[in-house]
Structure 1
Amino acid sequence: MRASLVQLRVDAVESPADRRHRAAALVRTRTGDDLVVLPESWAAGAWNHDSWERDAEPIDGPTAQAMSDAAREAGVWLHAGTLVERGPDGTLYNTALVFDPSGVRRGLYRKIHRYGFDTGEAALMGAGDQVVTVPTGSATLGLATCYDLRFPELFRALLDAGADVLTVPAAWPAGRLAHLTLFARTRAVEEQCFLLACVAVGEHGGVRQAGHSMIVTPWGDVLAEAADEEEIVTADLDLAEVARVRKELPVLRDRVMGIPVPAHRR
């Protein structure tokens, strides 16, 4: 599987419409890739709390339509990052969308863990309650978003649901880049999966974004990593490595917490 992370610049000076146009144009250049991933809340801005009410969209709004068209034109599976969704009852959600190469939406994940400690996302958005995986034919994507990285139980649930490639769009603050790197590599090692973290760059809402999007192997090695400017990083994922790692280091079969304990262990 050839995967690309489109590390978008998200700055306060650019409108959501301009970012949609630029993101779609970048996705269309990825013809020949199998999977393309975008960052978190790149259209509205993940830290632009004051503008979320104005910029929120329905699930089939302009960002979804632009990404569907781009996926179809490039012929790729597209994890379109997340958007600020206005749900049917008016509740705002941080929602990830996945499109297949024909532009059909195949996945929708509303972020479960909301960041902000009673402010920002935690105060203004509803929480998702579904563990979501998306089979692509060659891999099964496990969907998580940014702050979710700090909650290992979600990733264990994604593993149990069959994920072998974990996708994590993010708008991670630059001041905590070390945490991003630590968590991304740890989750890949824990679940013995590939992990793709696509992180925004730029500054909006007074927060500078970390960048350093990365593709991590099931061994925890960083296969490819961006710097801190807008760029695209690409790597070929040998999906057979997931089975090889799990056979060589079969730690997952020794789990005794959270699953029924076999009789011979009692």
Structure 2
Amino acid sequence: MRASLIQLQVDTAEPVNARRERACSLVRERATSDLVVLPELWPVGAFAFETFADEAEPLEGPTYQAMSEVARNAAVWLHAGSFVERAPDGTLYNTSLVFSPDGRLAASYRKIHRFGFDKGEAVLMGAGDQPVTVPLPDTTLGLATCYDLRFPELFRQLVDAGAQTLVIPAGWPARRRAHWSLLARARAVENQSYVLACGTAGTNGGVEQAGHSVVVDPWGEVLAEAGPYEEVLTVELDPAKVGKTREDFPALRDRVLGLDTP
């Protein structure tokens, strides 16, 4: 299974429509991949809070339409990162979309853990309340977004729901890059799953982005890692490695706390 992570540069000086077209072009170039992943809030910038309300879209707005079309054109599974969704009641959400190779929406996920500590995303956006998994032909994706990475209980729920590959689009700040790399490996090791963590490059909202998108295998080995600039990682994954790791070192079987009891 071939996966490509597009570490897109997000600069608020670039018009949203131009970046959307550029993202589509980069996805089309990955037509030999099975799964393509874009980062968090790439249309607007994860820290460009002042643009959220003006650039918010309905679920099936311009970003949805462009991503559906390019997934179909490239014939890939596309995790289209996330965008600012405006729900019918006016609430804004940080919403991820996953499209199948025929352009059908396979799943959407509203970010559960909002970042900001009483400002920014934490006060501007509503919170999702449901973990989401997506079955693909060769693996099952578990969806999370950026700040979610700090909350291991979400990933346990995703694994319990069948996830084997954890996909985490992000707009992670450069000043906490060490946490990004550490937590991505930790989530892979403790859940014995692949982790595909796709960040952004550039600066938005005055915040330099970490970049350093990373692919980690179920044993915690880094298979590929990007630098700080716009870059595409393409990696061959062996879906059978998840089951083999869990069989050879059955730590998940020994869980005691946090399990439902009969």
TM range (shorter): over 0.9
Distance in 2 (CA, whole Å) between partners of 1:243 and 1:104 is 28
> In the alignment, residue 148 of structure 1 is paired with which amino acid?
D
**Which residue does the alignment assign to 2:210?**
210
1:123 is aligned to 123
Q: CA deviation at 1:11?
A: 0.7
Match of 2:152 in 1: 152
Checking the alignment, whether the CA contact within 8 Å between 1:167 and 1:195 is kept in structure 2 is: yes
Aligned to 1:46: 46
- 1:250 matched residue in structure 2: 250
Q: Distance in 2 between matches of 1:131 and 1:203?
A: 30
2:93 corresponds to 1:87: no
- Tell me, in whole angstroms, the C-alpha distance in 1 between the residues paired with 2:15 and 2:47: 14
Percent of aligned pairs sharing the same letter: 62
Unaligned residue ranges in structure 2 (runs of 5+): none
Distance 2:257 2:231 in 1: 41
Map of 1:1-266 to 2, 5 A cutoff? 1-260=1-260
Residue 261 of structure 1 and its aligned partner are, at CA, apart by: 6.3
* CA deviation string 1:96-154 (max 9, x = no partner): 00000010000100000000000000010000001100001211000000000000000
TM-score normalised by L of structure 2: 0.99
Shift of 1:45: 1.3
Letter in 2 for 1:66: A
Give me the whole-angstrom Cα distance separating, in 2, the residues matched to 1:100 and 1:234.
Answer: 19
Provide the secondary structure at the position in 2 that maps to 1:241: helix
What CA distance in whole angstroms lies between the structure 2 residues aligned with 1:30 and 1:50? 32
CA distance in 1, matches of 2:259, 2:185: 24
| Paired AA for residue 96 in structure 1 | S
CA distance in 2, matches of 1:63, 1:49: 18
Measure the CA separation in 2 of the matches of 1:26 and 1:249. 38
Q: Using the alignment, how far apart are the partners of 2:44 and 2:204 within structure 1?
A: 10
1:223-255 deviations in Å (ceiling 9; x for gaps)? 011111111001000011101111111100101
Q: Mind listing any 5+ residue stretches in structure 1 that lack a counterpart?
A: none
- Segments ≥4 residues shifted beyond 6 Å: none
Tell me how far apart the structure 1 counterparts of residues 141 and 158 of structure 2 sit (CA, whole Å): 9
Q: Secondary structure at the match of 1:218?
A: coil
In structure 1, C-alpha distance between the alignment counterparts of 2:195 and 2:52, rounded to whole Å: 29
8 Å Cα contact 2:12/2:44 also seen in 1? no
Give the whole-Å Cα distance in 1 for the aligned partners of 2:44 and 2:61.
13
Contact 1:44 1:56 in 2 (8 A): no
Distance in structure 2 (CA, Å) of the matches to 1:174 and 1:33: 28
